[in-house]
Amino acid sequence: MTMDTNKKLAVFIASAIVLAVLPFVVGNTLGNSWVRTIDFALLYVMLALGLNIVVGFAGLLDLGFIAFYAVGAYTFALLGSPHFDIHLPFYISIPLGAGLAAMFGLLLGTPVLKLKGDYLAIVTLGFGEIIRIFMNNLNAPVNITNGPQGINLIDPIQIGGLSLGKAVEVFGFTLNPVHLYYYVFLFLTVMVVIMVYRLQHSRIGRAWVAMREDSIAAAAMGLNIRNIKLLAFALGALSGGVAGGLFSTFQGFISPESFGLLESIMILAMVVLGGMGHIPGVILGAVVLTIAPEILRDVIGPLQMKAFGKMLVDPENARMLLFGAAMVIMMLVRPEGMWPSKRRAAEFKDAKKG
């Protein structure tokens, strides 16, 4: 027993140290652009964990999840940029964006309560597109979103007197914005992980699983299916909204282009490829799917030059091609995902046998 807790503590301390020094190690060896990639990986972890509430826990398909990211991002941008010349601090605009995203979650959830499978997929997909199109067109007659040009010069996060948008010197170390944001993102990612973990292992989490497995039996046990579905949509959207606000301030610039269908699909792929419903799996999926394309980007071009002396295939195309192929292969050989929960792994094993 003590052995076990000791071991857990050791793992915890080790991962804390690794996570604390990670941006420096990576920055000094691979360069700061990779720290940036890690920052994005954290954003995607939050997004994937949010979508996982809807898809993995509650078993509802959502192809428009990026809309909540957009809501969070635009909330932050509109409340912290020269566009309206409003400059609310992040500790107001991030929660506000998250709350607004949750409300949009309910807005999406309500009309799709009775839908399942393909129909649900299509409606949620449409919802994602509608939000994006709104962002694109809400620049006239009154200019709210600045249309396709997007919003620029979004405020960096300001903690006390410290702006995360500028490099600072600490004990001779230079902390760049990518480093500074890393810690903010890491903190919020840990918060989201704790949130989803606790939800999963609660009365609410049990209700989601029950509904996913048999909604009729769940209703007959007194579960209010409507409410627990809406709760899944709202809480998933909430995490998406937090990530959106962070994205907005981190980038300093957003436009509707960042919130396309491909992004929604990407996040869904993270959840599915990682291991639907299994938090460590989903985190792994998000990290791998953020980093793998970047590695491919770095590798494909030089590799072609070396092998053929010239570029045969445009690296960007080759990257997507390889990436797509890897996903197809993955789904064929390991449909349960890279790191599924024991329960799900067993489900797939049973399905194969029978």
Partner 1 sequence: MSEVLLKIEGINKRFGGLHALSNVSLHINKGEIYGLIGPNGAGKTTMFNVLTGLYTPDEGSFTFDGNDLFRAPPHVVVKSGIARTFQNIRLFHEMTALENVMVGRHIRSKANALGAVLRNKATRDEEAAIEAKAWELLRYVGIEDVAYERAKNLSYGHQRRLEIARALATEPKLLALDEPAAGMNPSETESLKALMEKIRDGGVTVLLIEHDVKLMMGLCDRIAVLDYGKKIAEGVPEVVRKDPKVIEAYLGVAHE
Q: How far is the CB of 181 from partner 1 (least distance, A)?
A: 24
Measured at the alpha carbon of residue 278, what is the angle toward residues 236 and 108, in degrees to the nearest 5? 20
Q: Does 86 bind partner 1 (CB under 8 A)?
A: no
Q: Does 99 bind partner 1 (CB under 8 A)?
A: no
> By the 8 A CB rule, do 178 and 27 touch?
yes
- Contacting residue, 19, 190, 199, 330, with partner 1 by CB under 8 A: 199
> By the 8 A CB rule, do 225 and 219 touch?
yes
* Single-letter amino acid code for the residue at 246: L
Closest to 89 measured CA to CA, from 185, 164, 187, 175: 164
What is the rounded CA–CA span in Å between residue 45 and residue 37?
12
First to last CA, the chain: 38
Q: Does 224 bind partner 1 (CB under 8 A)?
A: yes
Q: Does 354 bind partner 1 (CB under 8 A)?
A: no
Q: Which helix (H) or strand (E) holds 162?
A: strand 162-163
Residue 101 structure tokens: 């995203």
- Contacting residue, 126, 213, 257, 262, with partner 1 by CB under 8 A: 213
130 vs 217 by CB, closer to partner 1: 217
What is the rounded CA–CA span in Å between residue 76 and residue 245?
5
Q: Does 214 bind partner 1 (CB under 8 A)?
A: yes
Q: Does 6 bind partner 1 (CB under 8 A)?
A: no
Q: Does 15 bind partner 1 (CB under 8 A)?
A: no
DSSP letter string over 47-82? HHHHHHIIIIIS----S-THHHHHHHHHHHHHHEET
- Contacting residue, 35, 43, 184, 207, with partner 1 by CB under 8 A: 207
What is the rounded CA–CA span in Å between residue 186 and residue 322?
30
Q: How far is the CB of 226 from partner 1 (least distance, A)?
A: 9
33 vs 227 by CB, closer to partner 1: 227
- Taking residues 232 to 251 in sequence order and writing x for each that binds partner 1 by CB under 8 A, - otherwise, the string is ---x----------------
> Cα separations (Å) of 328 from 73, 116, 260, 332?
31, 24, 22, 6
Q: How far is the CB of 27 from partner 1 (least distance, A)?
A: 33
Paired strand residues for 354:
none
Q: How far is the CB of 233 from partner 1 (least distance, A)?
A: 12
279 vs 288 by CB, closer to partner 1: 279
Paired strand residues for 170:
173
Which distant-in-sequence residues (6+ apart) come within 8 Å of 188 by Cβ?
Answer: 46, 242, 246
Q: Does 7 bind partner 1 (CB under 8 A)?
A: no
Q: How far is the CB of 198 from partner 1 (least distance, A)?
A: 5
38 vs 231 by CB, closer to partner 1: 231
Q: How far is the CB of 276 from partner 1 (least distance, A)?
A: 13
Q: Does 193 bind partner 1 (CB under 8 A)?
A: no
Residue 250 structure tokens: 């981190």
87 vs 343 by CB, closer to partner 1: 343
Q: How many CB atoms lie within 10 A of CB 28?
A: 10
Q: Does 218 bind partner 1 (CB under 8 A)?
A: yes
Stretch that binds partner 1, among 41-49, 196-204, 264-272, 325-333 (CB under 8 A): 196-204
Stretch that binds partner 1, among 17-25, 172-180, 212-220, 265-273 (CB under 8 A): 212-220
Q: How far is the CB of 224 from partner 1 (least distance, A)?
A: 4
What is the rounded CA–CA span in Å between residue 279 and residue 337?
12
Residues that bind partner 1 (CB under 8 A): 194-195, 198-199, 202-207, 209-210, 213-214, 216-225, 231, 235, 343, 346-347
